[in-house]
Amino acid sequence: MCDIPHMTGQSDDASKRTIRGILAARDIRIGGSRPWDLRVKDERFYRRVLAGGSMAFGESYMDGWWECERIDQLVVRILKDDPQAHLGVPWPVLAQAVASSLFNAQGRQAAFRNGQAHYDLGNDLYRTMLDPRMVYTCAYWKDASDLASAQEAKLDLVCRKIGLKPGQKILDIGCGWGSFLKFAAERYGAAGVGITVAEEQVKLGQELCKGLPIDLRLQDYRDVRGEFDHVVSLGMFEHVGRKNYRAYMQAAARCLKDGGLFLLHTIGTNVSGTRFDPWMDRYVFPNAQLPSVKEISAAAEGSFVMEDLHAFGPDYDRTLMAWQENFRNGWSGLADRYDVRFRRMWDYYLLACAGSFRARQNQLWQFVFSKEGVPGGYASIR
């Protein structure tokens, strides 16, 4: 996310000059007055960041070693250029890349650990941060002016893209708290099965969907059986892992009836094999990997025909900023359970992610797939 180089063996003064130079090249000043300028509160910051790269940059913010009025704007400027390209890849990042190539960090058992580490942090946290429907994916702001209406617009967009009709049955892979299925049942008269690996999501989701023809399950996508008129997956593919992309597509195809549509909504990256930020991996999304268009299309070969690709990554910037505002405004109701270091961590996560989408380093895609091609062609819906 914030790709700060990893270097060792420099004196404190040399470390300070190096960091100042890297930031100055991106129009960021130490002690400046602009919203994106840094205010260093602990002089150990410079050496720590050079020794630990992006991990240390995020951790030092969590520890209160530096401040910035607008971290989102800071990150946009940092991402204008990749200092690693000039100063070398830090060994923790290299080690992570090697490990990910040898091990399946998103296997069945690991998937539950990975998901619960983030999504089971506390339903009170997500109730505070999200919209009333508790949609934890990118909103669709085309004709919306607030988060709640933008999220409903996104849910409706998905329903329209798959041509949802009353009485049809949907499989939602990575259903969260059941927000999409609840919307589809209430507005379109549909039924559905939702699966997630986060236990707290299932518990609350079952309460929220009570009385509707919705079955929420604690289940891995590899274990789902049955046939469905449509399959959707909103914001879950980021946790699948490259080693499992094809198995994921095959599972979706196995569950999709002939003539049905599969909608995949995912964050993506511009370059195949891009490493995941070490700080994000440790503190926010363990073992997550962002796919490229090439990786998604390769995984779909033999299972699906790609009917449509819709990119609206800038909408995630606006969504993340809305979440951060909700989190900040609702902090007083969370402070008795979460400490100040967590608050700084969560602020950094939301604002740094917003900056990465604004810099167009991260993307948001919706794919529509069919099993054998839509007769006469698919009419794109926006």
Catalytic amino acids? Answer: 353
Among all chains, which residue has been given the structure tokens 């204008």? 80
Which amino acid belongs to residue 307?
A: E
Reduced to 3 states, what is the DSSP secondary structure of residue 66?
strand
Distance CA 302, CA 298 (A): 9
With a CB cutoff of 8 Å and minimum separation 6, the contacts of 374 are 261, 305, 307
- The number of residues making up the chain comes to 382
With a CB cutoff of 8 Å and minimum separation 6, the contacts of 4 are 19, 22, 49, 50, 53, 54, 56, 57, 78, 83
Q: For CA atoms 291, 315, 278, 4, give the dihedral sign.
A: positive
Give the dihedral of Cα atoms 287, 277, 318, 203; nearest 10 deg: 20
- State the pairing for strand pair 362-370/305-311: antiparallel
Concatenated DSSP letters for 163-223?
T--TT-EEEEET-TTTHHHHHHHHHH--EEEEEES-HHHHHHHHHHTTTSSEEEEE--GGG
8 A C-beta contact, residue 135 and residue 156: no
Reduced to 3 states, what is the DSSP secondary structure of residue 269?
strand
Distance CA 356, CA 73 (A): 10
